Amino acid sequence: MSGTKVASPVVDLTDQISLYRCQLELRKFEERAYDLFLENFVKGTSHLSIGQEAIAAGFAAAMRPTDWTFATYRGHAHTLARGVPMTPVFAELMGRTNGLMAGKGGSMHLTSVDHGVMGSYAIIGAHLPIACGAAWSAQYRKTDQVAVCFFGDGSVNIGAFHEALNFAAVWKLPVVFVCENNLWMEYTRTSEVTAVAHPAADRASAYGLESILIDGNDADAVFDVATSAIARARAGDGPSLIEALTYRHGGHSRADPGKYRPDAEVAEWMAKDPVPRYRLRLLELGVSEDELIAIENDVIAEVDRATEEAKAGGIPGEDLLMKDVWADGSGSWRN
Amino acid sequence: MAQLTFREAIARGVAQEMRRDESVVFLGEDVGAAGGVFKGTVGLFEEFGPVRVRDTPISEQAILGAAMGAAMTGLRPIAEIMFADFFAVCWDIVANEIAKSRYMTNGQVTFPLVIRSGNGGGLRFGAQHSQSVENWAMMIPGLKVVVPSNATDVIGLMAASIRDDDPVIFLEAKALYASKMDVPDGEIVDTLGSAKVLRNGTDATVVALGAMVPKALAAAEELANAGIECTVVDVRSLVPLDTTTILREVSATGRLFTVEENPRLCGWGGELASIVSEEAFYDLDGPIVRITTPHIPLPAADALEDMAIPSVERIVSTVTKSMNS
Are the beta carbons of B102 and A324 separated by less than 8 Å? yes
Report the gap between the CA of A111 and the closest CA in chain B (Å). Answer: 6
What's the CA gap between A145 and A167, in Å, rounded? 18
What is the tens place of the pLDDT at every residue in A112-141? 999 999 999 999 999 999 999 999 999 999
**Does the beta-carbon distance from B165 to A327 stay under 8 Å?**
yes
A170 has a chain B CB within 8 A of its CB = yes
> What pLDDT does A10 receive?
61
Which residues of B are annotated as catalytic?
129
How many Å apart are CA B95 and CA A17, to the nearest integer? 43
* CATH code assigned to B196-324: 3.40.50.920
Residue of A nearest to B165 (CA): A327
CB contact under 8 A, A136 and B66: yes
Least Cα separation, residue A274 to chain B (angstroms):
31
pLDDT at residue A253, rounded to an integer? 85
Domain boundaries, chain B: 2-183, 196-324
Please check whether residue A112 touches B, CB under 8 A. yes
Task: Give residues 37 to 66 of A whose Cβ lies within 8 Å of B.
Answer: none
- ipTM, two decimals, is 0.96
Q: How does DSSP classify residue A121?
A: E
Contact (CB<8Å) A130/B51: no
Instruction: Report the share of chain A in percent with pLDDT over 70.
Output: 97
| CATH superfamily, domain at B2-183 | Thiamin diphosphate (ThDP)-binding fold, Pyr/PP domains (3.40.50.970)
Using the Cα atoms of residue A92, residue A95, residue A96 and residue A97 in order, give the sign of their dihedral.
Answer: positive
Q: What is the pLDDT at residue A251?
A: 87
The pLDDT value recorded for residue A255 is: 80
Residues of A in contact with B71 (CB under 8 A): 133
Residue A2, pLDDT above cutoff 80:
no
Measured CA to CA, the distance from residue A100 to residue A318 in angstroms comes to: 18
- For A49-105, the pLDDT digits (tens) are 999 999 999 999 999 999 999 999 999 999 999 999 999 999 999 999 999 999 999
Rounded Cα distance between B9 and B27, Å, is: 18
Distance separating the N- and C-terminal Cα atoms of chain A: 62
**CA A190 vs CA A111, A182, A226, B210: distances in Å:** 28, 9, 24, 48
pLDDT in tens, A273-304: 999 999 999 999 999 999 999 999 999 999 99
Predicted local distance difference test score (pLDDT) of residue B34: 92
> Is cis: bond before A129, omega within 30 of 0?
no
* Contact between chains at A327 and B68 (C-beta distance less than 8 A): no
Q: How close does chain B come to A334, measured CA to CA in Å?
A: 5
A8 has a pLDDT exceeding 80: no
Whether B51 and A140 lie within 8 Å, measured CB to CB: yes
- The amino acid present at A111, given as its one-letter code, is T
Q: Which domains does chain A have, with CATH numbers?
A: 39-84+106-286 (3.40.50.970)
pLDDT in tens, B277-288: 999 999 999 999
Whether A319 contacts chain B with CB within 8 A = no
Of B96, B107, B165, the CB nearest to A123: B96
Are A335 and B241 inside 8 Å of each other by CB? yes
- Chain A nearest-CA distance from B34, in A, is 19
Q: Out of A112, A163, A329, name the one closest to residue B59 (CB).
A: A163
> If pLDDT is split at 50, 70 and 90, which confidence band does A265 have?
very high
Which residues, other chains included, contact B155 with Cβ-Cβ below 8 Å and sequence gap of 6+?
B9, B12, B13, B16, B183, B188, B190
Amino acid letter for position B51: V
Q: Of A167, A126, A232, nearest to B54 (Cα)?
A: A167
Confidence of residue A5 (pLDDT cuts 50, 70, 90): very low
- A289 contacts chain B (CB < 8 A): no
DSSP string of B270-286, one letter each residue: HHHHHHHHHHSGGG-SS
Chain A residues with CB-CB distance to B77 below 8 A = 133
Contacts of B278 (CB under 8 A, 6+ apart): none
What pLDDT was estimated at residue A63? 98
How close, in Å, is residue A264 to chain B by CA atoms? Answer: 39
Average of pLDDT values for A203-213? 98
User: Which of B106, B145, B163, B243 to probe the A interface (max A CBs under 10 A)?
Assistant: B106
Supply the pLDDT for residue A45: 86
d(CA A185, CA A251): 10
Query: How would you list the strands of the sheet with B24-28, edge to edge?
Result: B53-55, B24-28, B76-83, B114-119, B168-173, B144-146, B237-239
CATH fold match for the domains B2-183 and B196-324? yes
Residue ranges of chain B with per-residue pLDDT less than 50: none
